[in-house]
Amino acid sequence: MYATLVHHATLDRSSVLQRTMSSTVKVGVLTVSDRCSRGQAEDKSGPNLQKILRSSSALKVNEILSDCVPDEANEIKRVLLKWCDTENVHVILTTGGTGFSPRDITPEVTSEIIERPAQGLTLQMLSESLKVTPMAMLSRAVCGIRKGTIIINLPGSLKGSQECFQFVLPTLPHAIEVLRGSPNVGVTHASMEHPAHPQRGDTHHNCPHKTQGKTVRDLSKVAERDRHSPYPLVSMSDALSVIKENANCLPKTVVSIEDSLGHILASDVFAQEPFPPFPASVKDGYAVLASDGPGERVVLGPVTAGGIAASQVISGHVMRITTGAPVPQGADAVVQVEDTELLESDDGGRTEKRIKILTCPKPGQDIRPIGFDVNKGQQVLSAYDKLGPAELGLMASLGLTDIEVFQKPKVAVLSTGNEVVSPGQVAKAGQIRDSNKIALKSMINSHGFEFIDLGIAADTPQDLESKLSAGLELADVVVSSGGVSMGEKDFLKPVLEDLIGATIHFGRVFMKPGKPTTFATVTVGGKKKLIFSLPGNPVSAMVTFNLFVLPALNKLTGSQSPELTKIKAKLLQPVSLDARPEYHRVALSWKSGDLVPSATSTGSQCSSRLLSMRTSNALLVLPPRSDDLTRIEAGTIVDALIIGEV
């Protein structure tokens, strides 16, 4: 469909492959899983591959066969042979059974029936997968040919099978043509031998997001745009899982204790000295000899916090002492001032001479011994602890001034859209003021992260690429809003893939609001950068920031619990359910005697209605509508995710 360069008329190789693929394709999708075949687990990978096939513009798929078999050699072989020898299938995709488990035998069965191996397909999947995760080295996938059928082993996970299939998908049209002897093969070869420009992905290693010589879909052809999103609709759990896999701790650094608030410790902290470093009084009173018991005493003088006693306490004598002061030598107890009586003073009452002890003190009474709070060598904090005021106070008490922590990510924020203007500008006809950027920056700042303002990008591939590239150079995470849906000017996803060279891990999520939310990664200067492209509607942008971006930022800092806090809440009004899982904005409040808070809806949940976020401090997690459940009644207890002060 998209056959031209942005500024050139020459066909790229993938476009030629699509144009010369004149015949339709028949594909088989085989899931290999003991549990799925017995109905003990849901097969997600097989149906997901079928969705990708149906929406593919590279392969003109007109028929898809599907089956699910256990990890049994005869069952796997039966289906493969039937589809190859009887059904005349062009491509067979197997998912599952490619790992190290004793029952993972799909590669062995595939090797047994293929007539010719296709190591290039296997190598492509392995090399690209290793860029995503080192665990890819545990895959034993086999690819090969039997008669006119290409067989490709894919991993069993939804994410792994989708990624590996997309790694080899661009070459399959031409592979089928060659295998089936298509008359278009010569045209394709000629075009591939003399490309006018490098293929997408042929970038300079030191600058992977530069665009010189790169190609992009011809986005000016509005009539030829996709009518259905090519990105599979992923579940919330799968989306969060892939974000978690890609949000790795940033490197360690050393910061001053003054700048460490909110950071995550990168190493354990041990006390280099005891605290208190001397026996200290717990009360304001008198340091005494417990063996003297009650009775009259001569006051030798005072000892105050920060000072040292001028003399030693002996029998029949005491010293006045303040809270926290060092207990003088000879004393083994402190009697609080309330348990004494003044007998004699001089110098106009400025100096005590004699007092009476009214109680019978015990040895050690109201004295904190050396190391009472912290012993020397004791571990006081652990790696991955978050540093709050108490932790900073503790480290300061131990004399620590430089702290090893994980770096905090820098976040670049970009708004997009020809219709969007800055708040200070006069909005002309058809324009709106940008509320997303200030809201996103404020949320980033309120959680202790540094933001970089990238401004507003016009709806052109060139401006989007320029501003995104600048953000990727300066920040660890780029957060954009707008341009991710199916509109005529929604260029962000193709720009990410074709110009930035990013890998889009998901482009749609089964949720409301925020369905078009997109998550991508790209390596810049040897560092993996995260890209969150959020919807343009203000509520969608704020909700998806809380659900996706904030947990990623927390995990980058080293947090071991990066997710939003989840509690139970009671509905005060009935709520009608949507076809998608919904994150309903509510205000939580407690009434006296309530075990759980009450949740009050913020009104209309339209994703453009920013007023619905104004008093919201939580998101209710509502299930999708079903035949059995269309609404949740008032008084029902549901899950709520905390997004504000409660």
Residue with structure tokens 């991710």?
A: 484
Query: How long a stretch of residues is the chain?
Result: 646
Residue 9 has pLDDT above 80, yes or no: no
Q: Which residues of 460-471 are buried (b: 16+ CB within 10 A; e: fewer)?
A: ebebbbbbbbbb
Q: What is the pLDDT of residue 608?
A: 66
pLDDT (mean) for 490-511: 92
Q: Give, as one character, the DSSP assignment of residue 488.
A: T
Q: What is the pLDDT of residues 608-628, one digit of tens each?
A: 676 767 778 999 999 999 999
> What band does 195 get if pLDDT is binned at 50, 70 and 90?
very low
Residue 190 has pLDDT above 70, yes or no: no
| C-alpha triplet 499, 478, 500: angle, nearest 5° | 10
Q: Which amino acid is at 581?
A: P
Distance of alpha carbon 631 from alpha carbon 574, whole angstroms: 7
Check if the beta carbon of residue 234 is closer than 8 Å to that of residue 510: yes
Q: What is the pLDDT of residue 170?
A: 84
Residue 54 has pLDDT above 90, yes or no: no
Phi, psi (rounded to 5 degrees) for 645: -65, 135
Distance of alpha carbon 352 from alpha carbon 337, whole angstroms: 13
Residue 533 has pLDDT above 70, yes or no: yes
Distance of alpha carbon 392 from alpha carbon 259, whole angstroms: 10
Distance of alpha carbon 221 from alpha carbon 334, whole angstroms: 88
Poorest-pLDDT segment among 181-185, 403-407, 439-443, 547-551: 181-185
Rg (CA), the chain: 34
Check if the beta carbon of residue 618 is closer than 8 Å to that of residue 598: no
